[in-house]
Chains A and B, each alone.
Chain A
Amino acid sequence: MSDTVPTNTGFFRAISSQSAGVSLELDHVTKQYPGQPAPAVDDFSMNIRPGELIMFVGPSGCGKTTTMKMVNRLIEPSSGSIRIDGKDVLSLNPNELRRHVGYVIQQIGLFPHRTIAENIATVPKMLGWKKDRIAERVDELLRTVQLDPGAFANRYPRQLSGGQQQRAGVARALAADPPVMLMDEPFGATDPITRERLQAEFLRLQAEIGKTIIFVTHDFDEAIRMGDRIAVLSERSRIEQFDTPANILAAPANEYVSSFIGQGAAIKRLALMPISDAVLGPVADAGGPRIPVTGSLRDALDLIVLSGVARVTVTDPDGVAMGTLDHAAISHVLGTTVEVSALGADGEATP
């Protein structure tokens, strides 16, 4: 791949031209700080496909952030190689590299002396974009993250709420349309309600832009909700399991992963499964509680528990009854999924 890209500038132009994601490979990456007995990251290898949203989840201090920061060389690896679209990042100028890798941190780090528009324009300006193009891009991005340009472009960061600042932070990271994004607990400092909204908005955004993303979190539920695949990490950034949320929930690789999943793994799995996964019973009386087929099995279970009935009626988008769903059918879906992933079938996620 690298021989088709003779110069760095050419490489950056090549990866910038594809606004969607590119592949990202970490190959036997180790970070050893001098004077420390054990490496912070020990022989970490991972292949990430273009457009995948990968969650690094693990306890604080496990090296997940260190691993992520080696991708844009805020931390230099001691050994191993990291390739973006086949090109080793160590062969690139680190500052140039960082201008083409989106970076969002928990504390956001908006520049307090610059307006939101100026903050977002930071990287495009460094890349020498024309004024009109920058203005247009800022406008577009503010709309993308659902901040009204008229109201927010000329405000200063401290005039925004936490959630608004976080959106501006995401917009700033997306400014030059980088194919790769690194996100370090980006929604960690917001309240639970704002966090869920930001997560949902970001997923919707990601469905459009399809970036290759490494997303660090210590919140397993966030990992399940957002990730195409999750890497559960332990000390020294050891990969305990790397799989889709559904497969990790269905078949945790070991004690460590199970302990990380915590209570209610079955319920969490149900949240990931559409009602259409279940085998529906025949349509019975029309009087019972109804649920649209687009909901998750967890929504269905919720309704069963709440209403106290034995079965609920599932309806299609037009409101026509399709069938009924009961406890047994839901349990059956969970059982089946375990068998599938135990066979080691092609259970890996499609982004």
Chain B
Amino acid sequence: MTATIALPSAQSLRTRARAMTVLRLVAAPVIVVIAVSLLFWWISTLPLDSIEQRTLNPAYIEARIKEHLLLTFVASLLVAVLAIPAGILVYRARSAWVRGIFLTLGNIGQATPAVGVVILLAIVWQTGFATALVALVAYSFLPVLRNTMVGLEQVGSDVKEAARGMGMTRNQVLTRIELPLASPTILAGLRTALVFAVGTATVATFINAGGLGDMIVNGLKLQRYPVLLTGAVLVAAIAVLIDWLAGVVEDLVRPKGL
């Protein structure tokens, strides 16, 4: 009987949810396209001097975007490869000590200003891509670590007990039950890490590792505001687009039935 009462409301909820999904799918790219179009239209109306012309051209911008994206994606990939297993280990160790140590390390990585880490690393080690990568990984490690732990801890004890009771080994419980059920939370952590990385990758310019930070810093130093603004708007646009893309992926790979 309840089904007949619940059905219409569930249906209307579902149509509303679908409308929201469509809005979320469309809004971000539309805003980005508008913002970037406005920027380039504005720049095209400006008389550019020689300094500005050297940076505000397609080849230069494309090279910076490529550097920026490379840093972001390699760093995020490393974070995924390191932080998810770390989160699984901490979860399975079930020891307050291990948990404390890993969370403290993650917190330190995130709490320390990325600019400071980059420059310190450059002094004690080297400048360039690898150093920037280490700083980025340290910075975006925490959200993935924490979300992996929390996601696994949230899996219902009833589900785990049923799985054990049916004769799954601990590894089978992890790979067939716990990880799939924790995957939405873990992916949300990765999404946060990606967006962090886009923003933080701007500091790579200080140690000569390129990226859109070059445009921002040069624009500031040389007081060429069109350059500064282009760098800033592009970083923001990339961050929004990556967040959007990660959101779409999250929706696509979320286990059905959750």
Contacts and interface: CB of A to CB of B under 8 A. Distances in A.
Is the pairing of A and B real? yes
Contact of A103 (B162, B172, B181): B162
A14 to B, nearest CB: 17
Contacts of B177: 111
Contacts of A158: 257
Interface string B159-201: 1111111111100100001001100000000000000000000
Contact of A113 (B168, B169, B172, B255): B255
24 contacts: A74-B165, A97-B167, A98-B165, A99-B166, A99-B167, A103-B166, A105-B158, A107-B158, A109-B162, A109-B163, A109-B165, A110-B159, A110-B162, A111-B159, A111-B162, A111-B163, A112-B159, A113-B181, A113-B255, A123-B166, A156-B256, A169-B162, A172-B166, A182-B165
B176 to A, nearest CB: 8
A72 interface: yes
A109 B159 contact: yes
Contacts, number: 71
A95 B169 contact: yes
B5 interface: no
A122 interface: yes
A108 B181 contact: no
The 5 closest A-B pairs by CB, nearest first: A109-B162, A156-B257, A107-B158, A99-B167, A98-B167
B167 A95 contact: yes
A145 to B, nearest CB: 16
A98 B257 contact: no
B256 A113 contact: yes
A107 B158 CA distance: 6
Interface in A125-169: 126, 156-159, 169
B162 A108 contact: yes
Contact of A114 (B160, B161, B165, B257): B257
A111 B169 CA distance: 16
B156 interface: yes
A107 B172 CA distance: 21
A97 B165 CA distance: 10
Contacts of B158: 105, 107-109
Given A111-B162, A113-B255, A113-B256, 17 more contacts: A95-B167, A98-B166, A98-B167, A99-B166, A99-B167, A105-B162, A107-B161, A108-B162, A109-B162, A109-B163, A113-B257, A114-B257, A126-B166, A126-B172, A157-B257, A172-B166, A182-B165
